[in-house]
Structure 1
Amino acid sequence: MTQARRRIRIGLIGAGMAGQAHAFGYRNASMADGLRGVRVELAHVVDVFAPLAQDVAERYGFERWGTSVDELLADPTIDAVSVALPNSQHLDVLGRVLASGKHVLTEKPLGMDGAQAAQLVELALAPGREGAVDAVGFSYRRLPGLAALRDAVADGILGPIRHFETTYYCAHAADPDDPFTWRFDRATSGGGALIDLGLHAIDAVEFVVGPITEIVGARFQTAISERSDRGGIRHVVTNDDAAALLMVAGDGATGTLQTSRIAHGKPNSLQIAVFGANGSASFSTEDLNQFTIHLAGGDARFDGPRRVITGPLHGAYPDVSSFRSRGVGTGYGEAFIAQVQAFLRCILDGTRMDSDFAAAATTMRILDAAERAAAQGRPVVLEGAGA
């Protein structure tokens, strides 16, 4: 590999919280042994709000800042672009990034529905993009504890998975006085709690258990029907505050998913538990540096799940921990480092990312299926999953 290929210049579109998490990831990507010697250069950040773009440029070390996406994309020295924008802008901006031929890593969701996701997959596979990486940031799958669950299932330690449950609860919209924003408007968000939060839980199921093949039933709830914007104008909330799904995944395992943005006492909590023929395992972001596992058949007097503290044997831990020692721990920010590291490896190796546009389009089809199941009151089988 030439030295020129080992320099990757990055552009960032969107300088909000998610965009800054991407910048944090790039700043620390070289922690991984496999990326030693790779020069990651933060070239250009843009945001519609110029002071924010300038602030992020100065704090994270971008060479330039501005408000023009076209100007960023016209720079031939930029190799890869991260996109962190509101859902309604994904189809337009991602389409332009793909047309530029640059590698792209975007925040989820991939568009606002399955149709937009399918368009973006088609654009990602268009002539002229051969060798270009397209990826969607499902950062939670980079957490060592969740990766350990996936390994336990993939290695057959728990036996065939019979059933599972997952939840993603958040309290960010629990106060009815919280102002109306684009997140409460279906026309600009594509959905509510399920697309914003539950999509991570859907990805966790597919990551750990296997493909979701059927939505048996679904129910959506809007508990706070109106909100005032910052100017005091009242708006109708047109998407879901909470959602519940019954589904089938993997080799026929049944499971439930519940998500809520109005869950008092839950600042931000993703949880998944899997139950197999030989044992069970669970992980929660509330206990980020551990997971539990139980193997059947032991001494009944001391039977029960045991807590395992994560360390270098679990997922991306050795690539993101500042001390490569078990028990030191990693956090949410390190998941973004690991996500960026995976993206950069794919660029350097010419491989596809495990969370590429095609994979992310599947999660969008699952969202569509959940909405059909709720509207029609009957199960919906995912395309390609059989009759």
Structure 2
Amino acid sequence: MQTLKVALVGAGMAGQAHAFGYRNASMADDLRDVAIELDTVADVSEALAEDVRLRYGFKRATADISQIAANPEIDVISVALPNHAHRAVLEVLLRSGKHVLTEKPLGVGVEDAEYLTNLSLQYPGIRSVGFSYRRIPALAQMAQIVREGRLGDIWHFESSYYADHAASAADRFTWRFDRATAGGGALSDLGAHAVDAIAFVISPIDEVLSAQFKTSITERTDRSGQQHEVTNDDFASALVRTECGAAGSLLTSRVAYGQPNRLSLSVYGSKGSAHFDTQHYNDLKVFEAGGNAATTGPSHVVMGPANPHYSDVSSFRSRGVNTGYGEAFIAEIQDFIRAVVGRKELDTTFDNALHAMRVIESMYAFDTKTALQN
């Protein structure tokens, strides 16, 4: 058995999703000989860190993040912090030479992302960014279908990420609504996943043709009752083109009532089309042209052990039993561990996060130009 000792920096919802992933990583057959020990959870709120320690089985909890970088026994570190905290914390952890998996984005803008990406190359260790949606079996299967050429040349696409967690004006002001601490709004928080899904399934975006933004709720009150201006976007839309020449749309919103959390991607090519959305995690619609016009139509493909990642994360390895959001985090952690022990090359590196950040900043720059013209 090979043993990896894990530390978690950030004990909020995203951090707990990472803890869930590590606890279940050995579900994969090829990782049964890797023992995962949950060693330390760190958070500025020591009470929260202690709560996560108890519930997920970490050995210790601390509010002192520096203990993790200095501990020679810790092998891998997961980071799930507010955007503005990424640069300072990651700089210390990267210099330690330990293996690091961090949530996106890499800071609050391109400057942070470029700095951290360059720094990651100067020290040993595997560096990964948490684009967990790539590990959803149906989306991974869609990417495989496109790479195999079954849809022909990709002509155009539609992508969106809608959520309604900020749709009420009564929702409290937090760092997410401040451009200085969050960077972008809905586009940076949610749209980054759509940008990465496009890069993963089709090809990276290399041109932003247009972009527009709207802040629907312009002021919010924090927990102390103080009023704050919202300085980033509730909604964003853009027209983009990818490296392979496919043109498409990207829309994202955090104020879309009735859409609690929905990523969707439709791809149209010279030989067919495919559609995926997270309201139907285990379904993929595929249409391949050329059949009998009287009877042909989109195939409704239900995920199972034949599809990517499914057998590694399913609690019951049978088609139609279904996987979901949590299982995508398990698969993300599994791929990270495979890279750490030298069994697989990662496809979600800091470079991927830097690409997403550059695309997002290009969208914001386009909108700035439009505003100046007006």
Q: Same fold (TM over 0.5)?
A: yes
Give, in whole Å, the separation in 2 of the partners of 1:237 and 1:286: 29
Structure 1 consecutive aligned stretches of length 4 or more whose deviation exceeds 2 Å: none
Tell me the CA shift for residue 350 of structure 1. 7.0
**Could you say which residue in structure 2 is the equivalent of 1:346?**
339
Residue 227 (1) aligns with residue 220 (2): yes
3-state SS in 1 of match to 2:279: helix
Give, in whole Å, the separation in 1 of the partners of 2:315 and 2:100: 27
**1:271-310 alignment, distance < 5 Å:** 271-310=264-303
Give, in whole Å, the separation in 1 of the partners of 2:16 and 2:66: 20
**1:62-101 alignment, distance < 5 Å:** 62-101=58-97
3-state SS in 1 of match to 2:294: helix
Match of 1:263 among 256, 273, 285: 256
**1:100-249 alignment, distance < 5 Å:** 100-126=96-122, 129-130=123-124, 132-249=125-242
Residue 40 (1) aligns with residue 36 (2): yes
CA offsets 1:102-127 (integer angstroms, 9 cap, x no match):
1000011111111110100111011x
Q: Is contact 2:196–2:352 with CA below 8 Å preserved after alignment? A: no
3-state SS in 1 of match to 2:213: strand
3-state SS in 2 of match to 1:265: coil
3-state SS in 2 of match to 1:300: coil
3-state SS in 1 of match to 2:194: helix
Match of 1:364 among 334, 352, 357: 357
**Could you say which residue in structure 2 is the equivalent of 1:381?**
none
Give, in whole Å, the separation in 1 of the partners of 2:248 and 2:6: 40
Identity %: 52
**Could you say which residue in structure 2 is the equivalent of 1:29?**
25
**Could you say which residue in structure 2 is the equivalent of 1:9?**
5
What letter matches 2:23 in structure 1?
R
After alignment, is 352-361 or 11-20 more displaced?
352-361
3-state SS in 2 of match to 1:123: helix
Give, in whole Å, the separation in 1 of the partners of 2:343 and 2:119: 18
Give, in whole Å, the separation in 1 of the partners of 2:306 and 2:153: 23
3-state SS in 2 of match to 1:248: strand
Tell me the CA shift for residue 377 of structure 1. 3.6
Q: Is contact 1:133–1:351 with CA below 8 Å preserved after alignment? A: no
**TM-score using structure 2 length:** 0.97
What letter matches 2:217 in structure 1?
I
What letter matches 1:236 in structure 2?
E
Match of 1:253 among 229, 246, 256: 246
Q: CA RMSD in A?
A: 1.1
Q: Is contact 1:47–1:67 with CA below 8 Å preserved after alignment? A: yes
After alignment, is 271-280 or 369-378 more displaced?
369-378
CA offsets 1:305-364 (integer angstroms, 9 cap, x no match):
121001112111111011111111111100000000000000000764211111211111
Residue 58 (1) aligns with residue 54 (2): yes
Give, in whole Å, the separation in 2 of the partners of 1:245 and 1:350: 38
What letter matches 2:359 in structure 1?
I
Tell me the CA shift for residue 94 of structure 1. 0.5
CA, structure 1 residues 47+79, in 2 after alignment: closer, same or farther (shift >3 Å)?
same
Unaligned ranges ≥5, structure 2: none
Unaligned ranges ≥5, structure 1: 379-387
Give, in whole Å, the separation in 1 of the partners of 2:136 and 2:343: 24
Tell me the CA shift for residue 304 of structure 1. 2.0
Give, in whole Å, the separation in 2 of the partners of 1:327 and 1:250: 35
Give, in whole Å, the separation in 1 of the partners of 2:256 and 2:353: 26
Q: Is contact 2:39–2:74 with CA below 8 Å preserved after alignment? A: yes
Q: Is contact 1:216–1:248 with CA below 8 Å preserved after alignment? A: yes
Q: Is contact 1:281–1:292 with CA below 8 Å preserved after alignment? A: yes
3-state SS in 1 of match to 2:333: helix
Match of 1:332 among 312, 325, 328: 325
Q: Is contact 2:335–2:344 with CA below 8 Å preserved after alignment? A: no
Tell me the CA shift for residue 297 of structure 1. 1.4
Give, in whole Å, the separation in 2 of the partners of 1:286 and 1:243: 21
After alignment, is 283-292 or 226-235 more displaced?
226-235
Give, in whole Å, the separation in 2 of the partners of 1:244 and 1:328: 35
Q: Is contact 1:15–1:53 with CA below 8 Å preserved after alignment? A: yes
CA offsets 1:138-189 (integer angstroms, 9 cap, x no match):
0011000100110110000000100000000000000011111110000100
